[in-house]
């Protein structure tokens, strides 16, 4: 018998049915917010106090936020792209170029962008700078995407920001061939909110690619490139080098480029672009890196080599070698922002660095949301992310048996993704989330059977049923046997599972 959150009152509405029903006429990125948290908050209890905001408790405020979400959902979704900056540049122009009111750190790459952004933000905040952070996609609430001072902006501020720029959005819509997209409007909102705050520095994650990404109207003095791998190959290119050519578009004249370890062809493209832009390059494994790491309770203990020197005994409350490398990249980016390595030969205050890293949270990234059996959420959605997550789970948790719950999006390298998890999953329960982009559960099962064999694959089209089935399989080992469940495949799958498991 599993212990998904329950209550003893009248039978509540079926949460998954409401999520699916809401999906019929809403953007997939907003469907979870619209239906999921409304029906599941009663089951899950009060908010958990983490970095993912719940729905507003005030009914009027909640209605106002839903109205904004509905207007945003009526625009082109993030999956429909037009490789042009014309519309967002026009919006910045009529808004008075808010993105030029503060310095920026711009982050691209395939995996690790959001976690790296959160670490950069934590470091800057620890050094008493006022920060704005813009990341995507969100785990549960669209308000997560825009943060001030290390926390998502309130629903009130999100609504006010939207209403403030709405007349200007209308002006641009009227003058352009296509209206501004969902992501372009959100980008305009973020840049306007940062200018209004005002922030001392903005930490900005690209949505996809680099050159024509809507975020690329900033002139960032530090460009960060996390590991590049194959993803969105239909839009960005079929090799790491081709993908790097698009992502290199964030490198501006005279900037500092902080380059995580890369495939050779991707590194070559990035270095060539850096030379063309007369940019300074800091390379992981050369100018900075991870000197040592050991598993610790609740995370890992690191020694990081920054641009200015060594930082020993840094505790990071996140699991996996990939997170340690993200930490090294984040530290080098902040050092570069402060001029260390070029203008100054010194380190940042090590105690402040330790305090910052110890405070980092990254929801949906090897996040433990339940015990006995342990349930972990990870938003990996491509083979590179899956390989990193699989390695980290094996290192940090030592499960005697691990059951996977997998719901992916169409158009991904699903076989490569599943192959990365095959060595650590005893069984896999395949499912789908509520998004119309979700891969059909039976189609996903067919691929899973190729990888795992028929006897290790179970199909549960509804995510709530899949969670129940996986927890039941894990509980067969007994309370003290060390079995666990890993939910993965998509940020949307993780967000919905988070709600179903009471993390609203």
CA atoms within 13 A on the CB side of 386: 28
| 424 shares a domain with 276 | no
Specify if 405 maps to a domain.
yes
Residue 478 has a pLDDT of 61
Spatial separation of the C-alpha atoms in residues 126 and 144, rounded to whole Å: 20
Specify if 73 maps to a domain.
no
Specify if 108 maps to a domain.
yes
Specify if 300 maps to a domain.
no
Residue 181 belongs to what domain range? 86-286
Specify if 63 maps to a domain.
no
**For 196-229, how does the pLDDT look when each residue is reduced to its tens digit (9 = 90+)?**
999 999 999 998 878 899 999 999 999 999 998 7
Strands (E), 123-217: 131-134, 146-148, 151-152, 201-205
| 248 shares a domain with 127 | yes
Query: Among candidates 442, 443, 462, 395, which has minimal Cα distance to 423?
Result: 395
Give 152's strand partners.
Answer: 147
| 153 shares a domain with 24 | no
Residue 411 has a pLDDT of 81
**For 315-357, how does the pLDDT look when each residue is reduced to its tens digit (9 = 90+)?**
999 999 999 999 999 999 999 999 997 666 688 999 999 999 9
| 162 shares a domain with 118 | yes
| 112 shares a domain with 37 | no
- Structural domain count, the chain: 2
| 372 shares a domain with 253 | no
Specify if 164 maps to a domain.
yes
Specify if 110 maps to a domain.
yes
Show contacts of 322-325: CB within 8 Å, 24+ apart. 322/111, 322/112, 322/227, 322/388, 322/391, 322/392, 323/115, 323/362, 323/365, 323/366, 323/392, 324/290, 324/293, 324/300, 325/112, 325/227, 325/260, 325/261, 325/284, 325/290
- pLDDT class for 3, splitting at 50, 70, 90? very low
Q: Which of 234, 263, 286 is the last residue of a domain?
A: 286
- pLDDT class for 239, splitting at 50, 70, 90? confident
| 237 shares a domain with 114 | yes
| 184 shares a domain with 131 | yes
- pLDDT class for 372, splitting at 50, 70, 90? confident
Give 458's strand partners.
Answer: 429
| 31 shares a domain with 174 | no
Domain with residue 414: its CATH number is 3.90.190.20
Domain with residue 276: its CATH number is 3.40.1190.10
| 107 shares a domain with 46 | no
| 115 shares a domain with 254 | yes
Give this prediction's pTM: 0.84
């Amino acid at each position: 018998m599993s212990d998904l959150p329950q209550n003893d009152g009248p039978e509540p509405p079926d949460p998954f049915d409401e999520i699916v029903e809401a999906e019929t006429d809403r953007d997939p990125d907003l469907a979870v917010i619209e239906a999921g948290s409304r029906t599941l908050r009663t089951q899950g209890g009060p908010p958990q106090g983490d970095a993912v905001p719940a729905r507003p408790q005030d009914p009027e405020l909640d209605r106002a936020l839903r109205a904004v979400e509905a207007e945003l959902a009526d625009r082109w979704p993030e999956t429909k792209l037009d490789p042009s900056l014309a519309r967002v540049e026009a919006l910045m122009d009529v808004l008075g170029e808010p993105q030029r009111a503060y310095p920026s750190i711009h982050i691209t790459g395939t995996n690790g962008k959001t976690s790296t952004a959160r670490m950069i933000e934590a470091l800057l905040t620890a050094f008493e700078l006022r920060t704005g952070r813009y990341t995507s996609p969100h785990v549960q609430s669209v308000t997560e995407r825009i943060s001030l001072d290390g926390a998502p902006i309130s629903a009130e501020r999100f609504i006010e920001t939207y209403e403030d720029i709405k007349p200007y959005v209308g002006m641009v819509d009227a003058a352009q061939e296509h209206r501004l997209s969902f992501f372009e409007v959100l980008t305009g909102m973020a840049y306007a909110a940062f200018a209004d705050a005002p922030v001392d520095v903005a930490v900005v994650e690209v949505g996809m690619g680099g050159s024509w990404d809507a975020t690329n109207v900033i002139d960032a003095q530090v460009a960060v490139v996390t590991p590049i791998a194959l993803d969105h190959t239909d839009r960005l290119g079929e090799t790491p080098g081709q993908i790097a050519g698009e992502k290199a578009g964030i490198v501006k004249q005279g900037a500092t480029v902080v380059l995580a370890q890369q495939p050779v062809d991707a590194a070559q493209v990035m270095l060539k672009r850096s030379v063309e832009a007369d940019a300074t390059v800091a390379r992981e494994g050369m100018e900075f890196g991870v000197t040592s790491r050991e598993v610790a309770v609740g995370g890992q203990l690191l020694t990081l080599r920054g641009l200015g020197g060594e930082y020993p005994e840094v505790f990071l409350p996140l699991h996996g070698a990939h997170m340690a490398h993200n930490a090294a990249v984040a530290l080098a980016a902040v050092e570069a922002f402060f001029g260390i390595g070029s203008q100054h030969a010194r380190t940042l205050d090590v105690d402040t660095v330790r305090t910052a890293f110890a405070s980092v949270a990254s929801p949906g990234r090897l996040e433990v949301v339940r015990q006995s059996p342990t349930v972990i959420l990870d938003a990996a959605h491509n083979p590179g992310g899956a390989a990193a997550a699989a390695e980290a789970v094996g290192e940090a948790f030592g499960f005697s048996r691990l059951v996977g719950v997998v719901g992916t999006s169409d158009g991904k390298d699903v076989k490569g993704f599943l192959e990365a998890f095959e060595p650590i999953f005893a069984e896999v329960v395949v499912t789908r989330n509520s998004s119309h982009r979700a891969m059909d559960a039976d189609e996903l099962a067919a691929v899973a059977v190729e990888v795992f064999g028929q006897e290790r694959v179970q199909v549960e089209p509804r995510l709530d049923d899949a969670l129940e089935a996986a927890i039941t399989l894990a509980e067969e080992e007994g309370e003290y046997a060390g079995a666990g469940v890993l939910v993965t495949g998509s940020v949307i799958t993780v967000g919905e599972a988070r709600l179903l498991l009471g993390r609203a």
